[in-house]
Amino acid sequence: MTLRSRLFQALHPTLHYLGGNRVDLLCNGADYFAALLGALHSARESIRLETYLYADDAIGHAVTAALCQAAHRGVDVRVVVDGFGARNIERRHRPALEQAGVQLRVFRPEHHLFRHLLSLQRSRLCRMHRKLALIDGRTAFAGGINIIDDATGNTSSVRLDFAVRIEGPLIEPIGHAIDRQWVALNRIRLRDSLKHLPPATPTLLHTQHAGSLHAALALRDNLMHRRTIEQAYLRAIRQARESITLAMAYFIPSQNILHALLDAARRGVRITLLLQGRVEYRLQHYASQALYSRLLAHQIRIYEYRPGFLHAKAAVIDQAWSTVGSANLDPFSLLVAREANIVIRDTGFSRNLQHRIDEAIGAHSREITPSAWAAQPGLYRLLRGFSARLLFRLLSLTGYGNNY
């Protein structure tokens, strides 16, 4: 193997699928928090939790109470939150967690909201967007659901999102990823405080076969996994023969993914997009809509989710390949943030996820038709075009958008 080939392989690692897993689909906070809180209350050895948001609401308080109770039982509890997404944790949750003996680490603390938003420093834009949990080294959770009540900041009690509960051999790479981040954060604290910190104890892993599913962990970071999630999508889209369904909160794909989708449409693949209908972040919302005309011209069907916020990051391809995780197809997830997706090669799981997305499309979404979109006032077209140009201009200033 040539040096160039080895370098390409290092920068574009292939996914390592493991068989023998049980992977259960969890829809919205109702499913997810019932399962997560149940696991936290039954934990006997260790709890590892990573989240981007940690809200000061009913769910946040329930999770904090469960973590504190576990720590009082002698469970080794370690929590990692993002310093921007969970900057509110200092007010309520952190004192209670640390008093109970929970070990808490904050990824890149950021207390100045507007300074962060206006900053063009690459290091300050890098956030920890993963949502992972591992209980007793036996049961893992992964997906797009933060520690936040579905109704918080949402006009509807339903914030459409997905997560998975995992048992089996895939536990091992999930545990190693969690422990690697924990060790890295402790090294940062050691450098800054010059205090000795005990090394992280490796998670006790139980990786016996628990089912029949083949699944892989896809990470994104700024070291060895810069393009892993993007490459996983590209391979699946390029191999698609029948159908592609994407449910995305924020959809501003890279040029590679956009071209792959358009190529798939040209060869007759049915492509359906379920996207955000309510405005949460205006710049991303209108920049995403700037793509609609091009997508519709290729017979790609677009639906907008209406009742509440769409927070899903999921895909099903040919009802045989699917993914659920924290990564959107947008510049933040594909270029900047630390992300974690679970990729599943199983017809039964894929059909179940497809069914849940189809339910949301049929009951709670509005189709954007080419004729209706063409009839939009010119002012909206200008707004969408301006938003897209501004977004990519900001990306280029940071240096992230050069190859997007």
CB 129 within 8 A of CB 82: yes
The long-range contacts involving 336-339, CB below 8 angstroms and separated by at least 24 positions, are 336/125, 336/126, 336/127, 336/400, 337/126, 337/127, 337/128, 337/129, 337/220, 338/107, 338/126, 338/127, 338/128, 338/129, 338/130, 338/181, 338/219, 338/220, 338/221, 339/129, 339/130, 339/219, 339/220, 339/229
What is the Cα–Cα distance from 143 to 324, expressed in whole angstroms? 6
CA–CA distances in Å: residue 366 to residues 131, 275, 278, 358, 362: 29, 10, 11, 12, 8
Catalytic residue among 93, 131, 214, 225: 131
What is the Cα–Cα distance from 27 to 235, expressed in whole angstroms? 26
The yes-or-no answer on residue 136 being catalytic is yes
The yes-or-no answer on residue 129 being catalytic is yes
The yes-or-no answer on residue 206 being catalytic is no
Burial class for 398, CB neighbours closer than 10 Å (0-12, 13-18, 19+): middle
Catalytic residue among 221, 311, 330, 346: 311
Catalytic residue among 82, 93, 129, 161: 129
Q: Based on C-alpha coordinates, what's the Rg of the chain?
A: 21
Catalytic residue among 56, 57, 318, 358: 318
Q: Give the DSSP H or E segment for 303.
A: strand 301-305
Could you identify the residue written with the tokens 């049915």?
Answer: 270
Report the relative pairing of strands 46-51 and 76-82 from DSSP bridges: parallel
The yes-or-no answer on residue 313 being catalytic is yes
The yes-or-no answer on residue 311 being catalytic is yes
| The amino acid at 285 | H
| Residue closest to 67 by CA, chosen among 53, 79, 81 | 79
Query: Residue 299 has which token pair?
Result: 């017979």
Catalytic residue among 136, 150, 330, 346: 136
The yes-or-no answer on residue 364 being catalytic is no
**Which residues are marked as active site?**
129, 131, 136, 311, 313, 318
